Amino acid sequence: MLAATMVALLAALLLVATAPQSAQAHPSTFPDVTETDPAHDAIESLAARQIVAGTTSGEFQPYAFLTRGQATKILVNWRGEDTIPATSSRFSDVDSTYAPYVEVALAKGWVGGYPDGTFRPWAAMTREQMAVVLMRSLGLQAEALALDQVAIAGILGPFVDDSLVSASARPYLALAVTKGVFAGDDGLLRPLSAVTRAQFSLVLHRADSLADGLATTVPEESVSVREPSRTAEEQALAAFMDEYLFRPHSSPVTGNMVLDNAERCGIPPLPQLVIMAAETSLGDPKLGGALVRSNNFGCMRYHGAGTLWGMLSSGRIWVAGKDWYAFATPQIGMAAWGLYLASAMDGFYLPILRAADLDWERFAAVYYGRGVSGFSGYVGRLQTLENRFRQVATEHGVSF
């Protein structure tokens, strides 16, 4: 009787000693992942299974942004798929580092490329892209696409920024929320924000219980990255902006990004171009300075992470003695800038920018500041840029 009691007590003590302290049960594999880090257990679990690894210096860099190439490699390892050595890929920009993993994930239907034949392995993966590739890798594409719009709205509606989710990603993100692997961040989805290595590890750790016994392949033809549907006139305008405005400036901005802002935020392309040219020389990485190199394509002073555009910020930068936003990728920077123009100052700018006749003096009175030195010159510059863009567009057979 006494022996049995002692065994029971010992078992209870062992449970008390181990269960609540799993994160402190063993030292961290990586020096930059502390035992109290929220992602510690997830990273340790994945590292023990050789799904994730550190850098050459031995660090994990948990809060560095995860690239599309890195995410694909981790995903293939996580699903236990065998790779075949490959030195080349069907994508023009995938080298031997990621080719074996990208080819497997492509064949499985988890990832897709872009219409221009690229995969963009070095681009940061966004949170909505993470939801898409995760649900596909679990073989849940059919279940995601079976969700109707009412159900999706009901799932994503409670999040403040659900309107930022791309139409093609909404079913996948909704299913990821339903499955409990995507919980948001303080009531925000932040769909266009870049994913960190720690966040991706946490999501995979949550999804481990879903992975067993699920199909892993979806039809390849269903996973190409779909560019927004454009009319012939819109396609011509996007091509014009790319060839005659952005490429000569080596700008990371594209015509489609401008059209995305027009569609998402209601800001016509012409005023976007005029303001971007005045602020950052159309996103020229040299002439545009530090703001462009941090993917901030307009005058976006830091107003706090709670603002609609601040939700997409990757940090703060100090430029010319002032505090500005920085963004992880050009796509995110353009999306944030569009949201800023549409909603800042209680929506003051939007009706001005949507008017047939652009009143640059009224716009600049708030955006630049009527009492600021050089105000008249700034207004004149905006008007000159508008006239120039209209003229160049006409010369190439397009119109704004």
Residue 16 buriedness (CB in 10 A; 0-12 / 13-18 / 19+) = exposed
Residue 83 buriedness (CB in 10 A; 0-12 / 13-18 / 19+) = middle
Rounded Cα gap, residues 360 and 220, in angstroms? 49
- Please report the pLDDT score of residue 26 as a whole number: 52
> pLDDT tens digits, residue range 112-159?
888 778 888 888 888 899 999 999 999 999 999 999 999 999 999 888
> pLDDT tens digits, residue range 360-391?
999 999 999 999 999 999 999 999 999 999 99
Determine which of 222-226, 283-287, 304-308, 349-353 has the lowest per-residue pLDDT on average: 222-226
Residue 178 buriedness (CB in 10 A; 0-12 / 13-18 / 19+) = middle
Rounded Cα gap, residues 144 and 136, in angstroms? 9
pLDDT at residue 14 is higher than 70: no
Domain 232-395 has CATH 1.10.530: yes
Query: What angle (nearest 5°) sits at the alpha carbon of residue 114, between those of residues 109 and 115?
Result: 115
Q: Kindly tell me the sign of the dihedral angle through the C-alpha atoms of 274, 288, 328, 139.
A: positive
Rounded Cα gap, residues 321 and 299, in angstroms? 13
Between 342 and 376, residue with greater pLDDT: 376
Give the confidence band of 212 by pLDDT, cuts at 50, 70, 90.
low
Give the confidence band of 229 by pLDDT, cuts at 50, 70, 90.
low
**Unique residue bearing structure tokens 């279940």:** 143
262 Cβ contact partners less than 8 Å away, ≥ 6 residues apart: 268, 269, 272
> pLDDT tens digits, residue range 74-101?
999 999 999 877 777 888 889 888 999 9
Mean pLDDT of 29-48: 90
Ranges of each domain in the chain:
63-222, 232-395
Mean pLDDT of 261-286: 93
State pTM to two decimals: 0.61
pLDDT at residue 342 is higher than 50: yes
